[in-house]
Structure 1
Amino acid sequence: MTLTVEQFKALSDIEQLQTVKDLNDTEQVETIIDVLTSVGTENLSIPLLGELGRAYNNNGNEKEAIKVLESIDEKYRDAVWYYRCAYAYGVIALGNNDAYTSDAMQQMLRLVDKGVRLATKEDRNDIKEYFFEIIDMCYMQMDFEQCEAEYTELCKAYSQYVVGKKRNKRGVPHHRTITVEEIQATDDMWTINEPMYWTINIYGSHDDYIESSKGFTLEQRYLNAICWYFAEVNNGGHHQFFYNSTGIVWEDALAGLQRFKMDELANNFQTVLDFFGGTVPFDREERWKLLQQSEDNPEFFEFLDEKDDVVYEYDGIFEDVFVHENPHLFVFDGTYTIPE
């Protein structure tokens, strides 16, 4: 659609808004930005300012989106406004690989928290899910232990959303054949671990975890556990690994590190377990209690910091060496479900 500023000005307020929405539906965001900025932001209605912020977001210019959106008076800020602004901060945090404590991440969380409350009040469940998708987007940079302490109700709502999504989502069946040749040719362990990642259940009981793993070799199960271990410890340390649902794989993570001859990491992890008496519960709430008890020990966090550093700084033989030397243990030919 070709649209001049003069043509746009000749439209009624309702027609202007609908025209911009139509342009957005056909992904003509540059036209939206050109026309609305030519009109002048000071001459735009509140809905059109919102659409301009949306267009900047869709065009990858989140800083301009924030500038436009924050020019809207607070009394006009509904759940949609909070979503658009939170999304912009989330993308910035993601692009910068920001830590949980960064200004962008914290601003995103404040906006999401307020936005979810407003969406609940406005009975906008569709918008609530959009907010949770922002958290999904920034998941790997989130410190959920700290987040649960600071945004308790938000994290409860997010957890319910995750459970509901897993329960209700049919997903897309995906057939995959992973051959010895493919395993030997790749250094990307994600491509080898993908069937296990989507299939093995770390969110239920330990029996659920074992049952969901039955279609895989023990080494495939170990690889998945090690991948979770690295993801969590490198993001928020051993404390986060045990605190989150991923702690259910601790036994397999240790066994995998030993089996894959990653001795330095295995010994380091063993000393962490020894601090807890050699074992930790598979049940997440029981692990929480154990962590809370341990926090009374003044040496606890200093001890964990040292153990975390071993993982951060490790530059020895990683799991891909064992996988490449034993490709027959990681072949796969089957179907697994990837969420839509």
Structure 2
Amino acid sequence: MGLTVEQFKAFSDAEQLQTIKELNNSGNVETIINILTDMGMENLSVPLLGELGRAYNNNSNEKEAIKVLESIDEEYRDAVWYYRCAYAYGALVLDNSDGYTSNTMQQMLRLVDKGVRLATEAKLDDIKLYCFEVIDMCYLQMDFETCESDYPDLCSAYNEYVAEKKKKRKGVPRHRTITVQEIMATDDVWTINEPMYWTINIYGSYDDYIESAKPFTLEQRYLNAISWYFAEVNNGGHHQFFYNSTGIVWEDALAGLRLFKMDELADNLQSVIEYFGGSVPFDREERWNILKNWENEDELFDFLDKKDDVVYEYDGIYEDTFVHEHPELFVFDGTYKVPE
């Protein structure tokens, strides 16, 4: 998007904010940072300052995010502000392997505590969940027993969140029979992939992932991996794909793209893997460390932006072509669990 600062200045406040949100949704974090910093922080409205802070968070520049967010007057600090600031401190905790008693960890917890309270009052359930995910991110470095004493209300709410996650993970059984005839009659790959989506575990170890995929054919496993790949890259680019739990499927996504004759996308993903040295860890924390400690972050984001564009602009065949050519590989007759 070739947007200049002068063009941006000509927009109304509402148009400026909407433009920034659209840029964020399309993964153009660098563009957001460039436009808003060129505007000058002193000229930015409170919502735009918040968006700049979010952009710095998404660009793994948490120190700048904190600087921007803490420039916002206290009267404008809502639940979203507390979440964004807590996320920045949480990322620093992770980067520095800070312990529970560190100033950074304690600041993160204070921010999450206030963010959860405000989100609860405002009935912003999504923001409350995001706050809890910051605790998830730092959990291994926390002394949770001490935390329960220091932040009893927060930890009680967090325990409820964990219990609800476990409940949803258990789910309710759903029986499906997917026949060759049904596969040939539909262009909706989701209906074919649904059993794999709810069954294959991408949130644990690689062994967990492989074990959970055993009820399915290799081609079904590949289809699920490709579905996750598209979902993440189209939402937040390759950086998000590798940063999130979905990065565990990269090898299957690559093999699937190749098998399904989506060669342009396979070559594109292969070049990303080669950029990282020819392989990417299946362990999420190891991937975090690689992304956060990359020597030249600007070069990394420039490279990944170009690779994202290949996916966004792709106009070749999709996975449904292979599925329709080999429907017998994607039949299913069994039971899987879906959230209540």
TM-score range relative to shorter protein? 0.5 to 0.7
Match of 1:301 in 2: 301
Shift in CA distance, 187/281, structure 1 to aligned 2, threshold 3 Å: same
Does residue 117 of the first structure (1) align with residue 113 of the second (2)? yes
Q: How do residues 84-163 of structure 1 correspond to structure 2 at under 5 angstroms?
A: 99=25, 109-110=80-81, 117=113, 127=120, 131-133=124-126, 152=134
When residues 155 and 277 of structure 1 are mapped into structure 2, their CA distance, relative to the original with a 3 A threshold, is closer
Q: 1:180-219 alignment to 2 at 5 Å?
A: 180-219=180-219
Residue 167 of structure 1 deviates from its aligned partner by: 2.2
Change (3 A) 1:290 1:161: farther
* Matched residue SS, 1:294: coil
Q: Which residue of 1 aligns with 2:310?
A: 310
User: Within 2, Cα distance between the matches of 1:296 and 1:194?
Assistant: 39
Shift of residue 299, structure 1, vs aligned partner: 1.9
Secondary structure of the equivalent of 2:293?
A: helix
Hey, what's the Cα distance between the residues in 2 that align with 1:192 and 1:156?
36
The residue number in structure 2 matching 1:64 is none
Report the equivalent of 2:282. 282
TM-score normalised to structure 1 length: 0.59
* Counterpart contact for 1:295–1:301, Cα < 8 Å: no
CA distance in 2, matches of 1:159, 1:226: 33
* In 2, Cα distance between equivalents of 1:277 and 1:262: 23
Tell me the distance in 2 between the aligned counterparts of 1:166 and 1:153: 14
Contact 1:206 1:283 survives alignment (8 Å): yes
Q: CA deviation at 1:112?
A: 6.9
* Paired position in structure 2 for 1:252: 252
Give the 5 Å matches for 1:257-276: 257-276=257-276
Residues 189 and 320 in structure 2, CA contact (< 8 A), matched pair in contact too: yes
For residue 232 of structure 2, what is the amino acid of its counterpart? E
What are the Cα deviations for residues 211-239 of structure 1, in whole angstroms up to 9, with x where unaligned? 11010110110000000000000111100
Residue 10 of structure 2 corresponds to none
Gaps of at least 5 residues in structure 1 are 1-91, 137-143
- Give the residue type in structure 2 aligned to 1:250: W
Partner of 2:96: none
**Aligned twin of 1:242:** 242
Asked if the contact 2:79–2:116 (Cα under 8 Å) also holds between the matched residues in 1, the reply is no
Q: 1:161 offset after TM fit, Å?
A: 7.0
- 3-state SS, counterpart of residue 174 of structure 1: strand
What's the secondary structure of 1:202's corresponding residue?
coil
SS of 1:168's equivalent in the other structure is helix
Measured at CA, do residues 337 and 153 of structure 1 come closer, stay the same or move farther in structure 2, by a change above 3 Å?
Answer: closer
Pick closer, same or farther for the CA change 1:97–1:331 going to 2, 3 Å. farther
CA distance in structure 2 between the partners assigned to 1:222 and 1:135 by the alignment: 34
Change (3 A) 1:162 1:117: closer
Q: Distance in 2 between matches of 1:97 and 1:335?
A: 41
What's the CA shift for 1:289?
Answer: 1.1
The share of aligned pairs that are identical, in percent, is: 61
1:150-208 per-position Cα deviation (integer Å, ceiling 9, x unaligned): x9459769997775434234421100011111111111111111001111111000011
The SS at the match of 1:336 is strand
Q: Quick check: 1:225–1:256 contact (8 Å CA) kept in 2? A: yes
AA at the equivalent of 1:276: F
1:310 counterpart letter in structure 2? V
Q: Which amino acid aligns with 2:113?
A: R
Question: 1:22-101 maps to which residues of 2 (within 5 A)?
Answer: 99=25
How far, CA to CA, are the matches of 1:204 and 1:265 in structure 2? 27
* Aligned twin of 1:165: 164
Does the CA-based 8 Å contact 2:173-2:335 persist in structure 1? Answer: yes
Retained in 1: the 8 A contact 2:273–2:280? yes
Question: In 1, Cα distance between the equivalents of 2:215 and 2:279?
Answer: 26
2:80 maps to a residue whose letter is L
* Structure-1 residue corresponding to 2:325: 325
Q: TM-score, normalised by structure 2?
A: 0.59
Counterpart check, 1:174 vs 2:170? no
Structure 1 stretch 259-268 or stretch 297-306: which is displaced more? 297-306
Matched residue pairs, number?
234
* Residues in 2 aligned to 1:333 and 1:205: alpha-carbon distance in whole angstroms: 27
Q: Note the aligned Cα RMSD (angstroms).
A: 3.9
Q: CA deviation at 1:296?
A: 2.4
Q: Whose Rg is larger?
A: 1
